[in-house]
Amino acid sequence: MTNPYFDRLIIQGKRDDFSWRAEGMGRTQKIKSENGPHLFLFALVLSRMKTTTQDTRWKPQDKGNQAANRNGGGGDGDRKGPDLSDRLLAFTANLLALAGSLPEDRAGGHLAEELLRSGTGAYFRHGEAEGSPSAKEFAEKFRACLTELRVSRRALQLLAKAGLPCDGQAVRTALEEVDILIRIFFSSIRTLENKAAA
């Protein structure tokens, strides 16, 4: 029987001391065995069987494709507006530029550090969500993104109120964008929870 979680097997070692590494779907499994020849044959059979087994597990990108097909669209090419990943990337890049423009005193440095941590954290957590093996883990990663975005919003609100020398328009634009992103993530999480409860 194949292990559907792994796309390829890498076998390393010599003679009776083999180890193998299976990679795929964001995970790696390493096993070392004294039964080298047996493990080698088992791994070889697994790798051959994997090529004929279709992976039917849930994937995060399935959600968007199913929605596009229900709306009569042909997939990603028909969607209007920026992709969520692209939108997060642009938001994070704007936060990086804003953090870099803050004064290097204690208050400016602290806010810059918080903007960097929370802004990049949301973007990176979204990347982790894309590799989630289940809908439950996908929703958990989205909750982590939502938390980071709320922290970013607080840092931006504090920056706007504190009157530190920075580009006020950039702060207002970032606040508008983070509010939109928070609504998107909140709505997505609620939809996932409703589907799980049904």
Q: What is the rounded average pLDDT of the residues 6-23? A: 49
Kindly report the length of the chain. Answer: 198
Cβ partners under 8 Å of residue 70, min gap 6: none
Cβ contact 174:98 at 8 Å: yes
Question: Tell me, what DSSP letter sits at residue 78?
Answer: G
Compute the distance between CA of residue 123 and CA of residue 43 in angstroms, rounded to an integer.
Answer: 36
pTM reported for the whole predicted model: 0.59
Cβ partners under 8 Å of residue 115, min gap 6: 95, 98, 99, 152, 155, 156, 159
User: How would CATH label the architecture of 60-197?
Assistant: Up-down Bundle (1.20)
| Tokens, residue 43 | 């791994």
Instruction: Enumerate the β-bridge partners of residue 17.
Output: 14
Compute the distance between CA of residue 140 and CA of residue 10 in angstroms, rounded to an integer.
Answer: 31
| Residue range 79-122, pLDDT digits in tens | 445 688 999 999 999 999 998 888 889 988 899 999 999 999 99
Compute the distance between CA of residue 76 and CA of residue 131 in angstroms, rounded to an integer.
Answer: 18
Cβ contact 167:107 at 8 Å: no
| Residue range 49-89, pLDDT digits in tens | 443 444 544 455 544 444 333 334 444 444 445 688 999 99
Q: Which of 107, 186, 108 is nearest to 150 (CA)?
A: 186
pLDDT at 42: 43
Residue spans per domain, the chain: 8-50, 60-197
Compute the distance between CA of residue 178 and CA of residue 88 in angstroms, rounded to an integer.
Answer: 9
| Residue range 125-139, pLDDT digits in tens | 999 998 888 888 898
Q: Give the pLDDT band of residue 198 (cuts 50, 70, 90).
A: confident
Taking phi over 0 as left and psi of -120 to 50 as alpha, with beta for the rest, 167 belongs to: beta
| Residue range 141-181, pLDDT digits in tens | 999 999 999 999 999 999 999 888 888 888 999 999 999 99
